[in-house]
């Protein structure tokens, strides 16, 4: 689902830079508070489709872009995690909209190649502070929703998070059957 992250076609894998500010948990839910660096991101937005279907449409575009489908014809390597913003409804279910955020590798941050596909936009994003919880398996939208709800409950009374969107992330290529790493990131609210 999350593309060929460690495929040798794309060369090295770089981790999105962040700093762990604190760790916490309640019951079986543990989390990290992280300050994530901003920078330039390749983004793809898909609307009017359920999240899992929208992700299957958006991810190949990003993978092609980093693999060389750009004005410089160069493979940039991957950055993990691949993250995508989802937009919950009042009842917690997800709206038919998602936005994939791929952090451009450090080597290309100052001058990223222009995408050949005009549905991919290059955007500057400020750093963010998130509360992250981790889980395994092949993640689907329902898994992200469940873990986001658990994390929100765990943080009640101790942290304020944005309710209009959150990030779902993945670290592994689809062919990795065991030891998979997925996370939900609730964005700390500055209010």
Q: How would you label 146-171 residue by residue, b for 16+ Cβ within 10 Å and e otherwise?
A: ebbebbbebbeeebebeeebbbbbbb
Q: What is the pLDDT of residue 7?
A: 40
pLDDT at 72: 93
Q: What CA–CA distance (Å, rounded) separates 51 from 89?
A: 13
Task: Tell me the percentage of the chain whose pLDDT exceeds 90.
Answer: 73
Full-model pTM: 0.87
Q: Which residues of the chain have pLDDT under 50?
A: 1-11
Q: What percent of the chain has pLDDT over 70?
A: 93
Domains of the chain, with CATH numbers? 13-188 (3.20.80.10)
pLDDT digits (tens, 9 = 90+) for 95-110: 999 999 999 999 999 9
Instruction: Report the interhelical angle of 141-155 vs 51-67 (nearest 10°).
Output: 100
């Amino acid at each position: 689902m999350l593309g060929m992250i460690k495929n040798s076609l794309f060369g090295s894998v770089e981790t999105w830079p962040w700093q762990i500010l604190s760790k916490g948990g309640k019951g079986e839910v543990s989390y990290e508070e992280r300050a994530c660096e901003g920078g330039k991101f390749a983004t793809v937005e898909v609307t009017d489709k359920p999240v899992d279907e929208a992700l299957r449409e958006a991810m190949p575009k990003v993978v092609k872009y980093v693999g060389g489908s750009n004005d410089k014809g160069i493979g940039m390597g991957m950055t993990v995690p691949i993250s995508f913003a989802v937009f919950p409804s009042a009842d917690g279910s997800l709206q038919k909209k998602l936005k994939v955020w791929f952090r451009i590798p450090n080597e290309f941050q100052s001058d990223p190649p222009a995408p050949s596909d005009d549905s991919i936009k290059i955007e500057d994003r400020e750093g963010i502070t998130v509360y992250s919880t981790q889980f395994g398996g092949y993640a689907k939208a329902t898994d992200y929703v469940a873990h986001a709800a658990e994390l929100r409950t765990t943080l009640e009374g101790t942290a304020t998070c944005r309710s209009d969107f959150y990030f779902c992330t993945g670290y592994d290529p689809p062919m990795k059957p065991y030891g998979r790493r997925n996370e939900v990131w609730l964005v700390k609210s500055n209010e």
